[in-house]
Amino acid sequence: FYNRLNTNGYFSLFMKVKKFVKIEGDKLDWSKRAEWSISEDAWDIIQENGISPALVFVHPKVLKLNPSFLKFYRSVAMLPQKGLTAISKVANIDPIEKGKVDASRIKAESITKLTKAINEVLSVVVTVASGLNEKRLEGMMYATAGTNIDGSWRNQIGAEGERVIRTIILNGLLHYNEVTSFIDKANNTVEISSAEAKKFTEDIDLVKTINLTNGYSVYFSSEPDVTMYNPKGEIVGIIEIKAGLDPAGALERLGAMFKSFENTLAEYPDAVTILVASCITKEVDNRLNASMVVRQKYITTDITANDREKRKFVNRLRVIVKLARPSF
């Protein structure tokens, strides 16, 4: 969250707007505020609280001069980008907020629509909020930022979980000196060295295939997320990584996993199928126990947070690719 707030410029955004308002705010003409959907009740409250109008309401001139300030006003109004697009009918809000669109290229009609849409919402916010001040305006901005980051993180956490598990697999094989080469996403075969090993472990997304000392290979893709091949090119094991944390999507993820496993077992009935999941609800667990297609199951946090479980997981893979003997 800290990194996203920093990367997306939220830490400096409020100060930039505040500095502009302090220097230029008093020169703005608000005589057309009714046309810009600012209610008189909200205007009076701002005046009574001694807050500069430009720190709360959108003035079209401010957007024309500083299009990236749109993110501040949208956030204070506690609107997501999709919500603002829906009520303003202005698309491509994200590049405007990121400063990727030159002000001269933004149509006056779009500026007007954005101004009215945000001010209409802000007028309601101001009239229902008590004790409004600069600190609370800043807090409202962060509240919206946090909601947006939380939504995007929930979408990304599954992909991040896959990266973590793949990195654990790679580090485990490197620990036993069982890697001979990598094949990267550009299909380049890279012979193992300490420098290359460091590069690939630091960015697992670069790795497509790990080639092993005994001729077996570990292949990273999607559905399944990890496939293990013997020297003949036969599949000896697959791993599905379902790292999403949303319980509501657990059954949907389960269905996709079953399909992947069934397709593999139809052609390679002796393959070992492994599920690594962050969220196993009671209903999902019942279905897994009743299924004949899941041979092994692990909880993501057990592997990532417990060294003993991490070693057991890696060694289970090493047994599948004939680099270790099973321990009973």
Angle at 169 between CA 166 and CA 170, to 5 degrees: 90
Q: Of 173, 144, 12, which Cα lies nearest the Cα of 81?
A: 144
**pLDDT digits over 256-302, tens only?**
678 888 889 999 999 999 999 877 767 777 777 777 788 888 888 88
Residues contacting 316, CB < 8 A, separation 6+: 274, 296
pLDDT at 162: 87
Given a cut of 60, whether residue 93 has pLDDT beyond it is yes
Q: Of 275, 270, 245, 247, which Cα lies nearest the Cα of 259?
A: 275
Highest mean pLDDT: which of 199-213, 232-246, 291-305? 199-213
Distance CA(192)–CA(68), nearest Å, equals: 46
Report the pLDDT averaged over residues 149-163. Answer: 75
**pLDDT digits over 94-107, tens only?**
999 888 888 788 89
Given a cut of 90, whether residue 130 has pLDDT beyond it is no
**pLDDT digits over 176-200, tens only?**
999 999 999 999 999 988 888 888 8
Distance CA(120)–CA(114), nearest Å, equals: 10
Q: Could you tell me the two tokens for 267?
A: 């052609």
Range from 110-114, 126-130, 131-135, 240-244 carrying the lowest mean pLDDT: 240-244
Contact 309, 303 (CB under 8 A): yes
Report the pLDDT averaged over residues 170-177. Answer: 94
Q: What is the DSSP letter of 246?
A: -
pLDDT at 155: 62
Distance CA(143)–CA(155), nearest Å, equals: 19
Sign for the pseudo-dihedral over CA of 160, 166, 170, 171: positive
Top-confidence residue, 243 or 247: 243
Contact 201, 212 (CB under 8 A): no
Residues contacting 95, CB < 8 A, separation 6+: 101
pLDDT at 29: 96
Domain definitions of the chain by residue range: 2-132, 156-320
Range from 11-20, 27-36, 149-158, 176-185 carrying the lowest mean pLDDT: 149-158
pLDDT at 19: 94
Asked if the bond preceding 224 is cis, omega within 30° of 0, the reply is: yes
Given a cut of 90, whether residue 146 has pLDDT beyond it is no
User: In CATH, what number does 156-320 get?
Assistant: 3.40.91.10
Q: Of 274, 324, 277, 309, which Cα lies nearest the Cα of 168?
A: 309
Report the pLDDT averaged over residues 27-36. Answer: 96
Predicted confidence band of residue 154 (pLDDT cuts 50, 70, 90): low
Given a cut of 60, whether residue 8 has pLDDT beyond it is yes
pLDDT at 237: 97
Please provide the distance, in angstroms rounded to a whole number, between the alpha carbons at the two ends of the chain: 43
Mean pLDDT for all residues in the chain = 88
Q: What is the CA 186 to chain-centroid distance, rounded?
A: 24
Given a cut of 60, whether residue 63 has pLDDT beyond it is yes
Angle at 158 between CA 156 and CA 162, to 5 degrees: 115
Top-confidence residue, 212 or 104: 212
Query: Structure pTM?
Result: 0.57
